[in-house]
């Protein structure tokens, strides 16, 4: 626990030191027909930061993730990755640029094994081009071997060895969450957006995932994490943003934010 508190302090320092944010969400609004799912939402993730995003069900958190990663077009606003707007980039191009997400409901490749799921996410594989597949078989083979070695690292890191050859459809909900984390790691991202990584995960595994995320963060990967499990989240993040009804209602250090009267009213379901 001490190590984690210490870690949070480092993140807070880095955030305050004025390094440019890795991710900036600027005045995003989204209307679904007449329904306003997001209204003028802004937030940022400092380089090397670990930011939490909380809010009641239907607050617009997942919608915001989809807008940040390009799966849904915003009605208004801009997304910047390392200072450059990415609004015209498709989801896959944003992922290639280093910004990846997981989904609230895991989207594993159900008929591929865990290893194949991870292999699929390795960028720039010659074997994914039909020409190279038939005319550069040597290069394809070498890359497959190198890829398999990288996959083993991730399998070890996330402790997936026991299930590595199972088709992903056979995994438990928590294992699928881990697999999705592994899959985005294979893309060598600079910022990862996790949508409820602990939902449906048993407490032992939650502790594991928290450790892994902190380790990755210490290696320089930034995180934006949606989570309902407040206890888990406050162990993890150095900063918290709170949303309700499509707007940001509070932002700051976890303790201060959670003490905020509006947050308690909206999120904790009662007056302060």
Partner 1 sequence: MDAYLAAIVSVMLIYVLLALGLTLQYGLTGLINFGMVGFFAIGAYTSALLALHGVPVVLSVAAAAVVAGISAWPIGLASLRLRDDYFAIVTLGFAEIVRLTLTSEKWLTNGVQGLSRIPPIYEGTGTAAAFVIVAILLAVTVAAIFLIHRVAHSPFGRIIAAIRDNEEAVQAIGKDPARFKIQVLVVGSALAGIAGALYAHYVTYIVPEQFVALATFYVWMAVIMGGVGRVSGAVVGTAILMFFLEGSRFLGDFLPWISSVQMASIRIGVVGLALVLFTIYRPQGLMGDFTKR
**Site residues (vs Mg ion, CB under 5 A):** 62, 104
Minimum CB–partner distance for residue 250 and ligand ADP (Å): 15
CB 184 within 8 A of CB 192: yes
> Of these partners, Mg ion, partner 1, ligand ADP, none, which one is at the site of residue 114 (CB under 5 to 8 Å by kind)?
none
Inter-helix orientation angle 173-185/137-157, to 10°: 130
Least CB distance to partner 1 at residue 97 (A): 8
Considering the complex, what minimum distance in angstroms separates the CB of residue 57 from Mg ion? 7
For the segment 110-129, give every residue that binds partner 1 (CB under 8 A). 110-112, 116-117, 119-121, 123, 125-129
CB 207 within 8 A of CB 214: no
Q: Pick from 44, 63, 117, 234: which binds ligand ADP (CB under 6 A)?
A: 63
Cβ nearer to partner 1, comparing 95 with 232: 95
Which of residues 190 and 199 has its CB atom nearest to Mg ion in the complex?
199
Contact 206, 232 (CB under 8 A): yes
For residues 27 to 46, the per-residue mask of contacts with partner 1, x marking binding by CB under 8 A and - elsewhere, is --------------------
Rounded distance between C-alpha atoms, residue 189 and residue 51, angstroms: 16
CB of 203 to partner 1, least distance (A): 27
The least CB distance from residue 176 to partner 1, in Å, is 11
Each residue of 42-59: b (16+ CB within 10 Å) or e?
A: ebbbbbbbbbbbbbeeeb
- Is the distance from CB of 29 to CB of 36 less than 8 angstroms? yes
Question: Which residues neighbour 161 within 8 Å (Cβ) at sequence distance 6 or greater?
Answer: 155
Which residue of 40, 71, 229, 230 would you call a contact of partner 1, by CB under 8 A?
Answer: 71
Q: Which residues fall within 8 angstroms of residue 259, CB to CB, at 6 or more apart? A: 272
Determine the Cα–Cα distance for residues 198 and 70; give it in Å rounded to an integer: 24
The verdict on 107 binding ligand ADP (CB under 6 A) reads no
- The residues that bridge with 240 in the sheet, in sequence order, are 52, 252
Going by C-beta distance under 8 Å and a sequence separation of 6 or more, which residues neighbour residue 182? Answer: 114, 117, 118, 154, 155, 157, 158, 160
Residues of span 23-62 touching ligand ADP by CB under 6 A:
32, 35, 37, 55, 57-62
Are 181 and 198 contacting, i.e. CB atoms less than 8 angstroms apart? no
Q: Which of 45, 79, 140, 191 binds partner 1 (CB under 8 A)?
A: 140
Residues that bind ligand ADP (CB under 6 A): 32, 35, 37, 55, 57-63
Binding residues vs partner 1 (CB under 8 A): 69, 71, 90-93, 95-96, 100-103, 107-112, 116-117, 119-121, 123, 125-130, 133-134, 140, 143-144, 167, 183-184, 186-187
């Amino acid at each position: 626990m001490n190590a984690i508190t210490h870690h949070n302090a480092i993140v807070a320092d880095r955030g305050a030191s004025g390094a440019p944010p890795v991710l900036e969400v600027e005045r995003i609004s989204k209307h679904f027909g007449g329904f306003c799912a997001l209204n003028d939402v802004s937030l940022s993730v400092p380089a090397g930061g670990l930011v939490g995003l909380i809010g009641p069900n239907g607050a617009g958190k997942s919608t915001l993730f989809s807008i940040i990663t390009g799966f849904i077009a915003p009605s208004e606003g801009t997304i910047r990755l390392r200072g450059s707007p990415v609004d015209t980039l498709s989801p896959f191009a944003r992922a290639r640029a280093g910004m990846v997400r997981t989904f609230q409901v895991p989207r594993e490749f159900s008929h591929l094994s865990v290893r194949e799921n991870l292999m699929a996410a390795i960028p720039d594989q010659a074997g994914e081009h039909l020409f190279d597949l038939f005319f550069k078989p040597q290069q394809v083979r070498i890359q497959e071997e190198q890829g398999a070695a990288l996959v083993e690292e991730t399998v070890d890191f996330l402790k997936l060895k026991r299930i590595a050859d199972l088709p992903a459809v056979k995994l438990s909900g928590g294992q699928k969450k881990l697999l999705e984390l592994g899959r985005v790691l294979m893309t060598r991202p600079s910022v990862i957006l996790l949508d409820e990584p602990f939902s449906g995960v048993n407490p032992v595994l939650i502790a594991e995932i928290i450790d892994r995320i902190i380790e990755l963060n210490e290696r320089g990967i930034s995180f934006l994490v949606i989570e309902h499990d407040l206890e888990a989240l406050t162990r993890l993040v150095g900063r918290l943003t709170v949303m309700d009804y499509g707007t940001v209602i509070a932002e700051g250090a976890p303790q201060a934010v959670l003490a905020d009267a509006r947050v308690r009213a909206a999120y904790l379901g009662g007056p302060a």
